[in-house]
A and B are shown apart, each in its own frame.
Chain A
Amino acid sequence: MTITVIARNTFKEAVRDRVLYLLLFFAAVSILFARVLALLTVGDRVKIIEDVGLASISLFGALMAILIGTGLVYKEIEKRTIFTLLAKPLRRHEFLLGKFLGLVLTLAVLLAAMSLIFLALVLAHTGTLEWNLLLAVVYIFFELVLITAVAILFSSFSTPILSSLFALAFYLIGHFSWSLETLLKKLPSGATRTFLRFVYTLLPDLENFNIRSEVVHQLPVAGAHLLYSAAYGLVYAAFILGLAIVIFRRRDFI
C-alpha cells in the first residue's frame, strides 16, 4: 500500500520533469527522421524505418531511465524531504521500491507513447499495423527495468552526475560484455579463462533483450530465449534492488 503511494507520487513527480519531455521530443524527432533516412536507401525502406524507430525507442528510453532514475533518491536527500518521509511509518525498502515502481510506470507510459508514434509511421508506409514490432518494445522495456534498478542503486549513495556516469557505464558494459565470449573462445583453458568466464557470467548482458533485428527481419525467436531473458532481466533487477536496499538501509542521513 505504502509502496503504491510512493510509486504514484514518483510517477507524478517524473511526468513533471522537463527533461522527460525534452527526451520525448527528441525521440519523436528521431523516429520521424527514419522516414528521411529511408528516402535515401535503395530497396526496403520499411526496414530502415523499423531499425531506426526501434533504436530510437531503446536509446531514448535508456537515457530517460538513467537521467531521471539517478536523481530520484538524491533529490529527496538533497531537498531533505527524506526526513519527513522516513519519520512516517515508512520502511526504507518500501521507499526505494516505490521510487523504482514509479519510474518503471513512467517509462512504460513513455514507451507506449513512443511506440504509438513508431507504429503510426510504419502504418503510413506499409498500410498494416505491425503488432509483432511490439515484441521488441516489450524486451526494450525489460532492459529499461534493469537500467532503472541500476540507476536507483547508484542514486541511493551517489550524486546524480556520478550516478548517471555509473549507470551509463553499466549500459555500455551490458551491451559490450558479449564480446568477452569471443575472447573466451581464443583463450586456452586455465585460471585466466576461468576468471574471465566468471566475469562474463557476472556482468550484465543487455544484448539478451535485443531482439530488434530478429523482429525487423521477421525471424523466429526461440520461446526459451524470450522466457529466460525476461526472467534474467527481472532476477537481475531484483538483485540490484536488493543491493540498493542494503546500501540505503545503512545510510545515515543526519
Chain B
Amino acid sequence: MGLKTRLDRIPRRKIPGSSIIYIPSGKYLKMATFGYSSVLADIIYIWAIQYYGNTAIEDRYTHLIHIFSIISELDPSYIDPYVVGALIAVEDTRDVALALKILDMGLAKNPGQWIFPLEAGHYAQLYLKDYALAKEYYRKTMNIPGSPAIARRLYAASAFKANDLTAAWETWLEVFQASADPQIRKIASNHLYEVKAAIDAGTIRDAVARYRAKSGRNPAALEDLVRSGVLARLPKDYDEKDYLYDPATGQIKTQVAPWKR
C-alpha cells in the first residue's frame, strides 16, 4: 500500500484526450463484442460523459459525432446517448446542426421515439430561429403515437411564426375542438384570435394597397374600403369586434392583445 501511495505521487506526463484515437468504427467494434454490445455501449456512454466533462481536453468535441455514432451502432435503441449527445453539441459547442444530426440519427434508428423530433424542433426553434424547420420536426413528433399533446401546440405555434397561417389556424382549431381542458381551450382560443388577426390584417393591407393605387391616398377609415368597392365586407376579429386602423401609417391591429382577452 505504501508503494502504491508513493507511485501515485510520482507525476506522469499524460496527453489529455489521447485515448480517443483507439476507438474504431462502431460497426467493427460490434463484431468484437461477442454479443455484449449493449454493455459496451453503456460503458462508452459513461466514459463519454466523463470525457466531455473534462475541460483539460480542448479539442474534445472534434469526435463528438463519431463517439455517439459508435454508441448508436452498438445499441441503436439506447435513447439517452442521442439526447445527451445533442445537448452537448448545442450547449457546449453551439453546433445546432450537429445536434440535429445526432437526433436525426436517433429517429432513423427508433422511428417510434417522439423525443428526438421534439428535441430537434426545440433546438431549431430556440437556437436557429428556423420556424419552418421546427414546424417540420414538430409535425413528425405529433405523428408518432404516444407523443405528448404539447407537440401539436408547438407545431401550430411554429407554423404561425413560419407564416404558414393556414396550418396554424387548422391546428389551433383542432386543439381547441379536441381539448376538454378549459385552460388549453383558452390558450388555443387566444392563438386562433392571433392567427385570424394576422390573416385579416393581410387581407385589409392588400385592400388598402389597392385603394391607394386607385385613389392615390390611404382610406380615412376602413369603411371606405367597402364604400369604394375594394372589399365586399370588412372582416371582424375572432371576437366579432372591429379592427383598429391608423390612416397615417396604414397599420391594422386588434382592439386587445391576444393574451388580454
Residues of A within 8 A of B (CB): 37, 40-44, 47-48, 51-52, 55, 58-59, 171-172, 175-176, 179, 206-207, 210, 212-213, 216-217, 219
Is B65 among interface residues, defined by CB-CB distance under 8 A?
no
Are the CB atoms of B36 and A59 closer together than 8 Å?
yes
Known A-B contacts A40-B46, A41-B45, A42-B49; the reply to A55 vs B39 at CB < 8 A is yes
Are the CB atoms of B31 and A43 closer together than 8 Å?
no
Known A-B contacts A51-B39, A55-B38, A176-B34; the reply to A219 vs B46 at CB < 8 A is no
Residues of B within 8 A of A176 (CB): 31, 34
How far is B79's CA from A82's CA once the two chains are assembled, in angstroms?
55
Nearest A residue to B43 via CB reads A37
Rounded to whole Å, the gap between the CB of A173 and the closest CB of chain B is 10
Nearest B residue to A55 via CB reads B39
Is B80 among interface residues, defined by CB-CB distance under 8 A?
yes
Known A-B contacts A40-B49, A42-B49, A219-B77; the reply to A179 vs B38 at CB < 8 A is no
Nearest A residue to B83 via CB reads A43
Are the CB atoms of B38 and A213 closer together than 8 Å?
yes
The total of interchain contacts (Cβ-Cβ below 8 angstroms) comes to: 55
Residues of A within 8 A of B34 (CB): 171-172, 175-176
Residues of B within 8 A of A (CB): 31, 34-39, 42-43, 45-46, 49-50, 75, 77-80, 83-84
Nearest B residue to A206 via CB reads B35
Are the CB atoms of B50 and A42 closer together than 8 Å?
no
Rounded to whole Å, the gap between the CB of A172 and the closest CB of chain B is 6
How far is B49's CA from A84's CA once the two chains are assembled, in angstroms?
62
Known A-B contacts A41-B80, A219-B77; the reply to A51 vs B35 at CB < 8 A is no
How far is B34's CA from A41's CA once the two chains are assembled, in angstroms?
23
How far is B84's CA from A42's CA once the two chains are assembled, in angstroms?
8
How far is B41's CA from A213's CA once the two chains are assembled, in angstroms?
11
How far is B37's CA from A41's CA once the two chains are assembled, in angstroms?
17
Nearest A residue to B47 via CB reads A40
A-B contact pairs, 6 of them (CB 8 A): A37-B43, A41-B42, A41-B45, A43-B80, A47-B80, A176-B34
How far is B31's CA from A213's CA once the two chains are assembled, in angstroms?
15
How far is B39's CA from A175's CA once the two chains are assembled, in angstroms?
15
A37-B46, A40-B49 provided; 6 other pairs, C-beta below 8 A?
Answer: A37-B43, A41-B80, A55-B39, A176-B31, A206-B35, A212-B38
Main DSSP-derived SS at the B contact region: helix
Are the CB atoms of A175 and B78 closer together than 8 Å?
no
Are the CB atoms of B80 and A42 closer together than 8 Å?
yes
Of B31, B34, B49, B83, most buried by chain A (CB within 10 Å of CB) is B34
Are the CB atoms of A44 and B79 closer together than 8 Å?
yes
Are the CB atoms of A41 and B46 closer together than 8 Å?
yes
Residues of A within 8 A of B84 (CB): 42-43
Known A-B contacts A43-B84, A179-B31; the reply to A216 vs B49 at CB < 8 A is no
Rounded to whole Å, the gap between the CB of A180 and the closest CB of chain B is 10
How far is B224's CA from A221's CA once the two chains are assembled, in angstroms?
70
Contact of B77 among A175, A206, A217 (CB under 8 A): A217
Residues of B within 8 A of A217 (CB): 77-78
Residues of A within 8 A of B46 (CB): 37, 40-41, 48
Known A-B contacts A212-B38, A213-B75; the reply to A41 vs B31 at CB < 8 A is no
Residues of A within 8 A of B36 (CB): 55, 58-59
Nearest A residue to B112 via CB reads A219
How far is B110's CA from A217's CA once the two chains are assembled, in angstroms?
11
Rounded to whole Å, the gap between the CB of B145 and the closest CB of chain A is 14
Nearest B residue to A179 via CB reads B31
How far is B50's CA from A164's CA once the two chains are assembled, in angstroms?
38
How far is B77's CA from A44's CA once the two chains are assembled, in angstroms?
13
How far is B80's CA from A175's CA once the two chains are assembled, in angstroms?
26
Rounded to whole Å, the gap between the CB of B90 and the closest CB of chain A is 15
Are the CB atoms of A44 and B80 closer together than 8 Å?
yes
| Top 5 A-B pairs, shortest CB-CB distance | A43-B80, A175-B34, A217-B77, A175-B35, A55-B39
Residues of B within 8 A of A213 (CB): 37-38, 75, 77
